[in-house]
Amino acid sequence: MRMNKRWRYVATAMLLCVMTIAASITSLAATKTISSVTIRVGTDIEAGDTLDDGIDVYSNSLEVKTGSYAATNSERYSIRDAEWVTSTSKHLTVGDEPKMRVYIYIDDDDYAFRGTYSSSNVKIKGGTFISAKRSSDELEVVVKLNGIKGTYPAPSDAGWKNSPLGKAVWNRDLDPDRDPYGKSITSGYYDVYLYRNGKSVKRFEALNTTTYNLYPYMTKEGTYSYKVRTVPYTEEQKRYGEKSEWTESDELYIDKNHVSDGTGQQDGNIGTTTQVGWIQSGNTWYYKYPDGSLQKDSWLKINNIWYLFDRDGRMLTGWQVKNGRTYYLQESGAMYTGWIKSGELWYFLNRPEDGDVEGAMRTGWLNYNGKVYYLHSNGAMAEGWTQIDKNWYYFYPGYGYKAVNTTIDTFYVDANGIWKK
């Protein structure tokens, strides 16, 4: 009897031991890491509309869908839910990039979300990565969708100023029905075609203004009118926006006693014939030489600062591509160098002392102030675990420099920053 009781104790102890070992094995198995995630997002909402309340989620296909959706295709994880970060009451305009939050869950108990998730290992199709927050079995990703496509509304109230004679004026394309908050959805650029007695006299393209002096071209008696339309101009506007319909102006009769002698005819209505140097027309800046010519389609260094001008002589700002290299021009037009944050990503633009093309976006390895960074092919600074030439490295999120001779989430990286199994 004592023997049977003793064996029961032994059996119970053995069972507990087996259960403990099994639990340990299960726990160890769940430590396999999902090292990367791929999501496709999209919407067919058009400019002027508001975001729909529901977002469809798919976990078995990365193909483009209709409606608003978030999709992935993995046996290890799936999308359980998605919601808009951008207000669903906001009327979207051409080029707007709505934000979406996507919730991803583990489907395979052998795997877990571990480490850092950033733009380097969260691949977004149809948008760009903004941020990620994780637990062991859930990953919450915020993405920015590609810009909303649409046709720009036509300008309104095209007419003539009372003075001076022949000065055209129109309103920016505000549409209160599509945009009750009063935000303009114009590109800010307009084509203007001048007519006399129904025949074409002069065409002006991509004017960055809502008023223009047409009188210098009214050199003959007749009835003048013009038509105006909104057009995309920047690369981003051309990617998402279409030209508007034409708006026709009222007629203006010019008799023989008031015709123009042609003085002041020039592309862009840029200043007077006596103005030189920097000239502002509307919101646009030009650089004019004493002979009347403009700096066009090239760089110009003024007071040790580089500026870039387009084919029509307009000073450029923002991200620009010239001769296959990407640059950033500040609001003043001055070329930027060094680190710059655009959206949620960091980029590096060559400084004069870096020995490369000044201001050009850097890619590849970068040594900066004693630390090592890596810039992806699109210029974005690497963060978190990143594979480069078959080797894995870790770059501190938010800072970007490479980890060396240390342990990250139990994984050791050597003096070169390389993790090896």
* Helix, strand and coil in the chain, % to nearest 5: 10, 40, 50
Residue-level length of the chain: 421
Among 169, 176, 175, smallest CA distance to 190 is for: 169
Q: Which domains does the chain have, with CATH numbers?
A: 32-145 (no CATH), 150-254 (2.60.40.10), 277-329 (2.10.270.10), 338-413 (2.10.270.10)
Mention every residue, 6+ apart, whose C-beta is less than 8 A from residue 294.
268, 270, 286, 287, 288, 309, 313
Q: What is the DSSP string of 163-191?
A: SSTTEEEEE----TTT-TT------S-EE
Quote the pLDDT of residue 31: 64
The Cα–Cα gap between 264 and 282 comes to 17
Cα-to-chain-centroid distance, residue 117? 21
User: Which 8-state DSSP code applies to residue 237?
Assistant: H
Bridge partners of 263? none
At residue 258, what are phi and psi to the nearest 5 degrees?
Answer: -125, 15
Helix (H, G, I), strand (E, B) or coil at 378: coil
Coil/strand/helix, residue 292: coil
Instruction: Please give the Cα distance from 352 to 369 (Å, whole number).
Output: 15
* pLDDT the model gives residue 181: 39
CA–CA dist 62, 126 (Å, integer): 11
Alpha carbon 120 to chain centroid, angstroms: 17
Nearest to 322 by CA among 337, 330, 311, 312: 311
DSSP letters of 305-351?
EEEEE-TTSPBP-EEEEETTEEEEE-TTSPBP-EEEEETTEEEEE--
Q: How is residue 215 annotated by DSSP?
A: G
Torsion sign, CA atoms 346, 349, 353, 355: positive
Could you report how far apart the first and last alpha carbons of the chain are, in Å? 55
Specify the pLDDT at position 263. Answer: 81
Give the whole-angstrom CA distance, residue 83 versus residue 199. Answer: 54
Contact of 112 with 137, CB cutoff 8 Å: yes
What is the reported pLDDT for 146? 93
3-state class (DSSP) for residue 16: helix
Per-residue pLDDT tens listing for the chain (421 residues) = 444 555 555 555 555 555 554 444 444 445 688 989 999 999 998 887 889 888 999 998 899 899 999 999 999 999 999 999 998 888 888 888 999 999 999 999 899 998 889 888 999 999 999 999 988 789 999 999 999 888 888 999 999 998 899 999 998 765 545 444 344 567 888 999 999 999 999 998 888 788 889 999 999 999 999 999 999 887 778 888 999 999 999 999 999 999 998 887 765 445 444 567 888 876 789 998 877 789 999 999 998 899 999 998 999 999 999 999 999 999 899 999 999 998 889 999 999 988 889 999 999 999 999 999 999 999 999 999 999 998 999 999 989 999 999 999 899 999 999 998 8
Spatial separation of the C-alpha atoms in residues 78 and 62, rounded to whole Å: 12
